[in-house]
Structure formats: structure tokens, C-alpha cells
Chains A and B, each alone.
Chain A
């Protein structure tokens, strides 16, 4: 049996969707189909990939309108009678075909206050208990596929790249902020540069994360609550004003 892939072909100037017929085989994923097109019909079709195992986060695209890893999306999920649309991520500028320029993300990453450990113990080491580190393990699963950044309407529809870090970086901030050894505070970063208030917790990031990180519930909302502690809670604000204490370091 055959399937039809409707693939975006073009670059920053524009482009169009083009149809390619691909023979189906057992266990085939969308990335296999793309490779078939490259091998047999369009050797100049550009796409990024690396591991074909859902580990490297390179093969992100929009398959039938949904942000997905092409290597983890099976062809048998789709009706063979209908063309399957494959488009590049919409939140980032297209370089060519399915390849986007995601470098904005790396710039955002550089602005996050880095890990700042407390002083080591007398023997020069740090020790952590399992129960303290369990929570941040979830955030370490991120493969930087940027599917969450792509689907987030604050970036995708409202184009707030200048004032919003996006869900992937809230996950990163959560991994630092909740770390038992870290002593830096990132609430001012979140409130100001990170723009966490722009997130309206509508959870699309969580829906698309291939690593099933509960981005909104476990990273963003707890961070929003920490921002409330430092910037909005009237009782805490009054207490800090009365005791002339600044926010936590």
C-alpha cells in the first residue's frame, strides 16, 4: 500500500506543499517516509535528524498540523486515503523545507541565571538526598526538541520572542530553581525577562512534549507560585516592607 506525503518545499521567501507517494511498510515512521522521498524523488529535500530514536530532538516537524518528532510518529496512525501533511515548525523561521532556524532558543538559554551551588561541605563535596533530587529529574528528560516552544501560542501567535522565554526554558529554570544545592533566585528573571506572566497555562506545551514532561503542572505553575511569593503576595510584600528585607537571594 502507498501513502501520500504532502511536504512543505521552500525557504524563508516562501514555498508550497508538494505531494510525494511513498510505499508503506510495517513499523514505518514519518521520518522513514521522508528518507524514502529523499532517496527516490527529491534528493534536495532538507530535513534534520540524527538518532531516529526520539533522543536527539532534531526531527521536530508538524505532521498533519500537530507538532511531533517525525521519528516517533508511526505512519499507521494516519488514514492511507488522505495525504499526510509534513511542515516545518511554524514558530521559527524556515531555512529550507523542513529545517528551521531555532537559534533564538540558544540565545534565551544564555540569559538564564546559571546554577549557583551553595558552599561545599568540609570535605569539599556536596551531598544530596534522593528525595530532594527526584523532583528535578523529570526536567532533565528534556531533549530540546522545541515542540513545546513551537506550539505555545505566546510565541506562535503573539510573537513575544522578545519578552517570553517559552515552556522549554521554564522547564530549565525549574530544574535549577528547585535544585537542592542551588542558592540563586530566578524569580526576578521569570517575572521580568522570562515573562512567565504571559503564559496563560493553557497546557499545549504539555500536550506535545514527547518526553511527557508535565511542563505546566510541575514546572510552570510551581514557578508562577514562586513568583507570586516574591512579587504579588500582599502579606509577604507587607512583611518584607516592614522588616525591610529584600527578596530571597
Chain B
């Protein structure tokens, strides 16, 4: 019988008896998220090649045409959606794990200590205002859908190009991301205890049930919509700069 020394409570960072590659998921997630954030920042800072024909980059929507702003318009446009994502329950999970290593993975020791305050102290206590960012970014959706309509306008006549489909996909992904939000699910009906108590509550129950179906896929929509936002910007940028020609489908 072999005796191995082992300390049950393992205070050392990263200590675990897990044998799987627990570090792969947080590492990959951190790298992909950082790449998307880096791209979005770079693109927002360009201030050119975001508009061509009927196509508008989602990073610059709604279109602001004044030229006296000290920063590219995208910076002002993007502030609410950036804060919306930063306070999103899903992204919180992702960055607490990948960037704050709090915890790096389940049942893997982190930097211990009783000074942990979670979301009870500044700045993380502000996560509690997520619903207001939902309200503000919700107002963007009509503009994004009107961008889809504009993307079918080829010099006054109706048409569909690859760019139209990309912009449609992006707006759909952003809409699904918004409607699957946890705060939205709460406000639409989750805050009720009795769904059957009135006709209005029954209608809210129906809405809550649908929001719950979407909410189960909130992580998927969070990633999908971030990829489509960056992808749609990149596509518009490439077409606008003349690097590629937008194939017309219809």
C-alpha cells in the first residue's frame, strides 16, 4: 500500500486534484474575448470606411454625421452597448473566471483570502444597474433594423448583397442577445409570484416563458452577436476600402 503525502486544503493558487485540462476553457475564452475587444476598439477608433452604399457598420450605428466631435462618433455610440456587455450576467461570469481568476475554474484553488467582496463593493456593486443599460441599448434595435432595410437599397432600387445578409444576421443576433437578457426576463414577468392572478399577469407569463427559452441560450447569443458585430464591421470596412467587392445576390 503506497502512502502519498497530501494536504487536503490546498492554499496554493491553481492547486487541484482535477486531471482534465481545466485551464484550456478559461484561457481560450479570455483570448477570444480579448481579441474581439481589441478589434472593436481598433475599428471604433478608425473613423473611416464604416459606411458604403446602403451598408453601415454596426459599430457606427445609429449614424452620427456631425463633424465637430472630439472623438470618432463610434465612441459615443458604443458606450452604452459596451457597458451593457460589461454588466451582462454572462460576460461577468466569463471575465471573472478568465481575467480575475476568481475562480479560474471550478474546484481549482484561487488566490485565497477573506478580503473578497464579490459584487457587494465598488466597482462591482454597479453591476446591479444592468437593467438600465438594457433599457438604453434596447433603443438601438429600431436603428439596427432600419440599417437592415437600408442595406437592401442599392442606389434607389431593392437588392440583396452578401453584406445585406451579414447585416441582417448581426441585427438578428443582437436582437436575440437583448431579448434573452436575464434582467429583461425578470422585468417581463420573472418578478411575479402569481402568473395566473390576472389577465395581464397571464400575458406576462407567456412573455416570460418565451424569454426563458431564449435565456437558456444567452451565452450562445452573447458570443454570436459579438462575432457578428465585429464581422459585419470588418465586411463593411473591406468593401468601403475597396479591398473586396460585395457580391450582389439579387
Contact = CB atoms under 8 A, between A and B. Distances in A.
A225 B186 contact: yes
Interface in A27-42: 41
Contacts of A131: 195-196, 205
B97 A202 contact: yes
Interface residue SS majority, chain B: loop
A41 B205 CA distance: 58
B129 A16 contact: no
B8 A154 contact: no
A185 to B, nearest CB: 10
A200 B8 contact: no
A131 B205 CA distance: 9
B35 to A, nearest CB: 22
Interface of A: 6, 8, 10, 14-20, 41, 62, 64-67, 82, 85, 87-88, 90, 94, 129, 131-132, 151, 153-154, 156-160, 177-180, 182, 195, 197-204, 207-208, 217, 221-222, 224-229, 231-234
Given A16-B3, A227-B128, 14 more contacts: A8-B8, A18-B1, A19-B3, A66-B18, A87-B8, A90-B10, A131-B205, A151-B107, A157-B109, A160-B114, A182-B193, A195-B118, A200-B96, A224-B128
29 contacts: A16-B3, A16-B4, A20-B1, A41-B1, A62-B17, A65-B19, A87-B17, A131-B195, A131-B205, A132-B193, A153-B110, A156-B107, A157-B110, A157-B116, A158-B113, A158-B114, A159-B114, A182-B193, A197-B119, A197-B120, A197-B125, A199-B118, A200-B92, A200-B118, A200-B119, A202-B93, A222-B186, A227-B128, A232-B129
Interface of B: 1-6, 8-10, 16-19, 89, 92-93, 96-97, 102-103, 106-107, 109-114, 116-120, 124-125, 128-129, 131, 182-183, 185-187, 190-191, 193-196, 205, 215-216
